């Protein structure tokens, strides 16, 4: 996985970075003890990337591969969606947006090669190009009660509502699903550095990417990672609740299984937010153990609150 050296150098002014299991961990120098209580947080999304799907057949191709209806993906509106295998199991989840007649998928970096390979298998007879766009685009997250106000002041635009996007010159602002106001801001390195510095004048607090996971857990947003790929159906990870599955658009890979679960029963697996003692930390893909030390589910996301000494987990229970 590649990281932009100019952005990494810039971030070193605000904290330390270390590489842990192929992912960057950013530890800010100045941060609130209770980061989630801050009114304005900025988070470098170092472990996220962009895939670009372009070509004359791109819309038709993706309509036959993704769970969302591509008719609803416009320059003003994005979607949380997934790509499944033939068994209806989710290979990857992502946000998809349309810009400059190409589609951009935003997802965890380690899952991007898996998704790209899976889509490429079906692209042989379509006029599409599937490639990484991470060299041209990087992203930061902006979250908190003052996030919309700060972006309005910095960019001179009205921040978008849920799953929609706004534009300011070369910068794109996407509103992430959930009750808490969260935005993903994407641009080239110079433009994003300028935005970061302007947000700091609004008393923004830099935070680690783990805090972004905390908000994902609160919103029940599942981002599939390599260890959890091709294990669960969209219903098991609550994708329909985020309007990530269309049941009217017609056929796509895995559609028959997904539709059957929707109309005949959703299965026994349930996505849950669980709080555990931090003494036994879990990571995505770990088997969750009950009090009797027997498997009760699988962890899909985690956030450790070192102050409260507890860990928040998003897990599928058996």
pLDDT at 90: 98
Residue 95, domain CATH: 3.30.1360.120
Q: What is the DSSP letter of 109?
A: G
Kindly state whether residues 209 and 309 are assigned to the same domain. Answer: no
CA 217, CA 11: separation in Å to the nearest integer?
25
Quick: pLDDT tens for 189-242: 999 999 999 999 999 999 999 999 999 999 999 999 999 999 999 999 999 999
User: 267, 282, 297: which is the final residue of a domain?
Assistant: 267
53 and 76 assigned to the same domain: yes
Supply the pLDDT for residue 34.
44
Tens-place pLDDT, residues 144-193:
999 999 999 999 988 888 888 898 888 999 999 888 899 999 999 999 99
36 has a pLDDT exceeding 60: no
| Shared-domain flag, residues 235 and 284 | no
206 in the same domain as 140: yes
pLDDT tens sequence across 1-18: 567 889 999 999 999 988
Say if residue 304 is in the same domain as residue 183. no
131 and 38 fall within a common domain: yes
Do 107 and 48 lie in a common domain? yes
Sheet with 129-132, edge to edge strand ranges: 79-84, 90-99, 102-108, 48-54, 129-132
Which residues does residue 53 pair with via DSSP β-bridges, in sequence order? 103, 130
Residues 35 and 54 in one domain: yes
pLDDT at 297 > cutoff 60: yes
What residues make up the domain containing 297? 268-317
pLDDT value for 302: 95
- Domain co-membership, 104 together with 190: yes
**Do 152 and 185 touch, CB atoms closer than 8 A?**
no
**Degrees (nearest 5) of the Cα angle 187, 192, 195?**
125
Tell me which of 18-27, 42-51, 182-191 is least confident.
18-27
Q: Is residue 267 scored above 80 in pLDDT?
A: no
| Closest to 110 (Cα-Cα) out of 27, 236, 224, 186 | 224
d(CA 6, CA 271): 39
Considering its fold, how many domains does the chain have in total?
A: 2
| Angle (CA) 175 110 79, round 5° | 25
Nearest to 39 by CA among 140, 182, 141, 145: 145
Q: What is the dihedral of CA 160, 164, 166, 167, to 10 degrees?
A: 160
DSSP letter for each residue of 112-172: HHHHHHHHHTT-TTSS-EEEE-TTT-EEEEEESTTHHHHHHHHHSSPPP-TTBEEEETTEE
- 172 and 127 in a single domain? The answer is yes
- Least confident stretch, 29-43, 150-164, 260-274, 277-291: 29-43
């Amino acid at each position: 996985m590649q990281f932009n050296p100019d952005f990494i150098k810039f971030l070193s002014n605000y904290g330390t970075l270390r590489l842990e299991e192929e992912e960057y961990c950013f530890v800010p120098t100045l941060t609130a003890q209770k980061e989630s209580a801050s009114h304005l947080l900025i988070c470098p999304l170092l472990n996220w990337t962009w895939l670009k799907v372009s070509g004359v057949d791109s819309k038709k191709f993706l309509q036959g591969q993704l769970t969302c209806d591509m008719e609803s993906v416009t320059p003003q509106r994005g979607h949380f969606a997934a790509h499944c295998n033939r068994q209806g199991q989710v290979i990857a989840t992502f946000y998809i947006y349309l810009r400059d007649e190409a589609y951009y998928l935003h997802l965890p970096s380690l899952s991007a090669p898996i998704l790209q390979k899976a889509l490429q298998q079906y692209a042989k007879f379509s006029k599409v190009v599937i490639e990484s766009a991470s060299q041209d685009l990087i992203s930061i997250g902006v979250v908190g009660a003052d996030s919309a106000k700060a972006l309005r002041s910095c960019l001179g635009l009205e921040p978008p509502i849920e799953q929609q996007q706004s534009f300011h010159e070369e910068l794109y602002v996407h509103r992430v699903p959930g009750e808490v106001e969260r935005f993903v801001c994407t641009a080239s390195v110079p433009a994003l550095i300028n935005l970061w510095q302007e947000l700091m004048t609004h008393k923004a607090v830099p935070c680690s990417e783990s805090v972004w996971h905390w908000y994902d857990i609160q919103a029940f947003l599942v981002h599939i990672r390599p260890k959890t790929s091709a294990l669960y159906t969209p219903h098991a990870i609550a994708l329909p609740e985020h309007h990530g599955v269309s049941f009217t658009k017609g056929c796509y890979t895995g559609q028959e299984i997904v539709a059957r679960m929707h109309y005949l029963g959703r299965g026994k697996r349930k996505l849950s937010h669980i709080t555990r003692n931090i003494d036994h930390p879990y990571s995505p893909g770990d088997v969750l153990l009950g009090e009797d030390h027997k498997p009760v589910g699988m962890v899909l996301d985690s956030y450790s609150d070192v102050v409260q000494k507890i860990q928040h987990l998003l897990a599928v229970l058996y």
